Amino acid sequence: MVNKKSNGKAAGLSKKDLESVRKDLVKKKAQILEEMMSLKGQSLQSAKDSSGDLSGYAFHMADQATDLYDREFLLELAEGERETLFALDEAIKRIDEGTYGKCETCGCAITKQRLKAMPEAKNCIECQEKEERSSR
Render pLDDT for 12-28 as a digit per residue (tens, 0 to 9): 789 999 999 999 999 99
Of 16, 7, 22, 6, which is closest to residue 120 (Cα–Cα)?
Answer: 22
Highest mean pLDDT, choosing among 40-49, 58-67, 108-117:
108-117
| Angle at alpha carbon of residue 91, lines to 86 and 97, rounded to 5° | 125
Distance, in Å, from the CA atom of 27 to the CA atom of 51, rounded to the nearest integer, reads: 36
Please report, for residues 20, 71, 124, the alpha-carbon distance to residue 11 in angstroms, rounded to integers and kept in the order given: 15, 42, 10
Q: What's the per-residue H, E or C state across 98-116?
A: CCCCECCCCCCECCHHHHH
Render pLDDT for 80-120 as a digit per residue (tens, 0 to 9): 888 999 999 999 999 999 999 999 999 999 999 999 999 99
